[in-house]
Amino acid sequence: MSGLSRTGRRRHYLLCAPTHFDVRYSINPWMDPGLPTAAEVALSQWQRLHGVLTDLGHDVDLIDPLPGLPDMVFAANGAIVADGRALVASFRHAERQGESPAYLDWFRSRGYTEVRQSSALNEGEGDFLTTGDVILAGSGFRSDAEARDEVQEFFGKKVLGLTLVDPRFYHLDTAIAVLDEHEVMYLPQAFAPESLDLLTERYPDAIAATEDEACLFALNAVSDGKHVILPTAATRLAAQLRERGFEPIGADTTELLKAGGGAKCCTLELHGVQPGDAD
Ligand code: ARG
């Protein structure tokens, strides 16, 4: 596959500045409220991510961060969005439940035709990744397996359920990255055996990450089909991506990792045509 040249597609993303970022509670194994966080480092790492996305020519919208919601920077969890329809998250933990009304308001005020909060526990694009004709759906820690039917019905797209088994990789987007419509990279041991069978069948040539890379949150990568944003320390994965014609771009999210998040967690993709897009 070496020498293959990729074409990226212009994307539309929703981000939330880490104005109120902090680690004050623990709802995943990465979070230790006893450790100090540096607000200015979180902000500069997030600004770098924002800058890379806009420099690549993508549309980036912002939702206002709210005080008292330190995890709101992780916009990927806010909803699943495609073609003017938004299925807003229902968070498992009380600490994040206050984010849902903010997302409902954001989509409604922007003229999305169909906006509703998920009736099952559903942590948005953290657990539901759109790829080609299918939505990969993670469960095991945050979103319920019951959320799949609702997603399938709401978007009229086939959903492929995957069970996560390692608490460090508690959202699907920490264990697998969608690179383009037919390619992914993932950590095999983060998945239950039946789910791994589904993945190997669907993506026989996928890039397998190591546990060390997954622990850098290198699988929490943002890809536009050509450029792949991931931590600079993930040099082996970057080389593998290059070999397949992708262009890796380093962006560090070490401060956000103290809350168990990385680049993809901060980036909600608004798939398809959105209200206000030029006709
Ligand atoms: N502290 C946040 C939580 O535990 C991190 C969310 C990371 N988001 C993601 N899409 N993986 O909910």
Q: What is the mean pLDDT of residues 49-68?
A: 98
- Residue at 239 is within a domain: yes
Residue 5 confidence class, pLDDT cut points 50, 70, 90: confident
Residue 276 confidence class, pLDDT cut points 50, 70, 90: confident
pLDDT for residue 278: 63
pLDDT for residue 3: 59
- Residue at 236 is within a domain: yes
- The catalytic residue positions are 171, 265
- Residue at 278 is within a domain: no
Measured from the CA of 77, which atom of ligand 1 is nearest? 10
- Residue at 19 is within a domain: yes
Percent residues over pLDDT 90 in the chain: 95
Kindly report the CATH number assigned to the domain that includes residue 138: 3.75.10.10
Percent residues over pLDDT 70 in the chain: 98
Q: How many separate domains does the chain show? A: 1
- Residue at 3 is within a domain: no
Is a pLDDT exceeding 90 seen at residue 56?
yes
For 116-172, the pLDDT digits (tens) are 999 999 999 999 999 988 999 999 999 999 999 999 999 999 999 999 999 999 999
Identify the H or E element spanning 241: helix 235-243
- Residue at 124 is within a domain: yes
* Global confidence as pTM: 0.97
pLDDT for residue 84: 95
Instruction: State the chain's mean pLDDT as an integer.
Output: 96
Q: Give the other-Cβ count within 10 Å of 68's Cβ.
A: 9
Residue 2 confidence class, pLDDT cut points 50, 70, 90: low
Is a pLDDT exceeding 80 seen at residue 1?
no
Ligand 1: distance of its center to the CA of 60 in Å?
20
Return d(Cα 212, Cα 226) in angstroms, integer: 24
- Please work out whether the CB of residue 143 comes within 6 Å of at least one atom of ligand 1: no
- Residue at 274 is within a domain: no
Cα 118 off chain centre by: 18
- Residue at 110 is within a domain: yes
3-state secondary structure 47-80: HHHHHHHHHCCCEEEECCCCCCCCCCCCHHHHEE
Measured from the CA of 31, which atom of ligand 1 is nearest? 1
For 170-221, the pLDDT digits (tens) are 999 999 999 999 999 999 999 999 999 999 999 999 999 999 999 999 999 9
Q: Domain limits at 18?
A: 12-269
pLDDT for residue 279: 57
